A and B are shown apart, each in its own frame.
Chain A
Amino acid sequence: MGIKKLKRKDIVFTAVMWLLALMMLYPFIMMVAISFRPSGQAYQPLFSSGIIHTLRSYKQVLSHPNFFDWYRNTVVTVVVTIFIRLVITILAAYSFSRLKFKGKGLILAFLVATMMVPGETTMVPRYLYFKQIGILNTLWSIVLPEASEVFYLILLIEFFSSIPGDFTEAATIDGAGHLIILFRIFIPLSGPAIATTVLFSFINIWNNYLDPYLFINNIETQLITPALQFFQEQGGANMPVQMAGSALALIPVIVLFVFTQKYFVQGVASSGIKG
């Protein structure tokens, strides 16, 4: 009796979870559905009669002369940004978590405070400044400002702080320099934290809309997320084409999510995020 009851409960639970999952997935399903429709039926319910299905939107996206430029630009930007971000953030995080120097607490507190400045206020200054230093209209205008992100610094500091002190002490006694300690001990131990940084960075930079929209003017230099907004029609956005483009743009992100999910959860588990 007890076992049977338990089993039924499990089935109900599984069903409820699958239902919830479908609800979470609904906008995504809708997005794919809309991408196969003409503009004039974009807002119809998921299952409604008289819907015409067409591949026109995908043809329009894929035949756009710049579509692969946008894709390539985005991949390049994401990879380069993550690389620079990792290098400078790991060095700084090591220093903040392990070394003693004057003003450390103050600098950190200041960095954290700047996290709270809303991006909208600095858009115009950034534009003028980037133009002045000649990175406007290049991918560097996205890469360089993104490189030093305080959020990831804090994340790595928390993680490094959780690595037991004996490791470093032993190495220091052996006379190893800081860089050696960092490369031999910290980096190998912080695989999960680095994976977390890479994945969250990837998603955030991939979906960045406002910065490339502001700082890039040439159509062939644009990144994929704002570039989808090139698909407009008379009177507004061309929904099916934008949805088709979004679906195509999402593929790498979803693939990454699905295949790294396990690692991802471990990464957060052992990194500082959880507190």
Chain B
Amino acid sequence: MKSVEAAAGYLLIAPFMLMFAVFKLYPMLYGIAVGFWDRNSEMKLLDTTFVGLSNYITVLKSASFWEAFAHSIVFSVIYIVFLMVFGFLAAVLLNRKFWGRTAVRTCFYIPYVTNMIAVGIVFKYLLNPVRGPVNAIFRLFGASGPGWLSSPVMALPTAAVIAGWAALAFHIITCLAALQDIPADMYEVADIEGAGFWQKLRYIVLPYLTPTLFMLLTITLINSFRNYTAIAGLTGGGPGTSSKVVSVLIYDDAFNFLAFSRASAEGVIFTIFIIIVNRLFTKARSIWESRN
């Protein structure tokens, strides 16, 4: 009986695994192999000479890689915090009853489907330090606003927040869904006890949503490293190299400089890092859960 079940199990995952192996896994393994070859210039594009770890050593020694690495981490931290906090808050607000709620919700979802190029253009205009409306507000109060996307300090955080803003819909939808599962009588009890908005948030909503938020955090953690389109569209990695993240570095090395092996080594090192972070996060989560 057990072996029959196992056979069925393998049979049913076979189509997925087959498609996965052929169209996803094989290119990945190929990509890893490239990291051990010497395809670092136009002359060696189809070269398969094994060069051991030399690409990895080059990458680990290169200052630009570590700079990009640090930028990626900064980007991810800001992106994750922004999405987790504002996605949750927006969902709580949108869960209350008010006139035109459905329409307002739809407005909150639109950025998710809007073309990133359009988003880039609009934010560049809004945040233009010289003639943009945002800094005009700063000047109204006699302050000179920050340079936003053009300031070496602010460019990366600004881009992270805009990317987070564009991805907000997914978090809102997920949190809204979870909010609907909270039994209405819990609010009634809270109302009778005279709990305010923040107290309700702290003692009812937050505990109820913890599993959802953990799930979202995992997804966001992975997605936060897929930031090529956002950075390319908003800052192009500039000014200077101040917002050049690893994904932009990899794209440049591979397609503009034709150094595929180096790009591949960069990708592998970075992937290992992401996996480690993810494992640590899962560990932390299980410890936290066992305590509660």
Q: Is the CB of B110 within 8 A of A25?
A: yes
Given contacts A30-B121, A116-B275, A239-B121, contact A257 B109 (CB under 8 A): yes
Q: Which of A30, A92, A145 contacts B13 (CB 8 A)?
A: A92
B41 contacts A by Cβ under 8 Å: no
Chain B proximity of A268: nearest CB distance (Å): 4
Residues of A bordering B, CB below 8 Å: 10, 13-14, 17-18, 20-22, 24-28, 30-31, 34, 42-43, 45, 84, 87-89, 91-92, 94-96, 99-102, 104, 107, 111, 113-126, 128-129, 144-145, 147-148, 150-151, 153, 178, 203, 206-207, 209-210, 225, 228, 237, 239, 242-243, 246, 249-250, 253-254, 257-258, 261-262, 264-270, 272-275
B84 contacts A by Cβ under 8 Å: no
Q: With a CB–CB cut-off of 8 A, which chain A residues contact B260?
A: 124
Q: Which of B2, B122, B266 contacts A27 (CB 8 A)?
A: B122
Q: With a CB–CB cut-off of 8 A, which chain B residues contact A30?
A: 118, 121-122, 125
Q: Is the CB of B271 within 8 A of A116?
A: yes
B102 contacts A by Cβ under 8 Å: yes
Q: Which residue of B lies closest to A272 (CB)?
A: B215
Q: Is the CB of B267 within 8 A of A120?
A: yes
Excluding A99-B6, A104-B9, 14 further A-B contacts by CB distance (< 8 Å) are A14-B99, A21-B104, A30-B121, A30-B125, A31-B115, A31-B118, A34-B121, A88-B15, A99-B12, A114-B24, A118-B226, A254-B113, A257-B113, A268-B176
Q: With a CB–CB cut-off of 8 A, which chain A residues contact B6?
A: 99-102
Given contacts A45-B133, A274-B211, contact A122 B115 (CB under 8 A): no
The 6 closest A-B pairs by CB, nearest first: A121-B267, A275-B211, A269-B177, A101-B9, A21-B107, A92-B16
B287 contacts A by Cβ under 8 Å: no
Judged by DSSP, the binding face of B is helix
Residues of B bordering A, CB below 8 Å: 2, 5-6, 8-13, 15-17, 19-20, 22-28, 30-31, 34, 90, 93-94, 96, 98-115, 117-119, 121-123, 125-126, 133, 168, 173-174, 176-178, 180-181, 210-216, 219, 222, 225-226, 228-229, 246-247, 250-251, 254-255, 260, 263-264, 266-268, 270-271, 274-275, 278
Chain B proximity of A130: nearest CB distance (Å): 9
Given contacts A101-B10, A117-B271, contact A26 B225 (CB under 8 A): no
Q: Is the CB of B20 within 8 A of A261?
A: no
Q: How far is the CA of A127 from the CA of B213 in the complex (A)?
A: 37
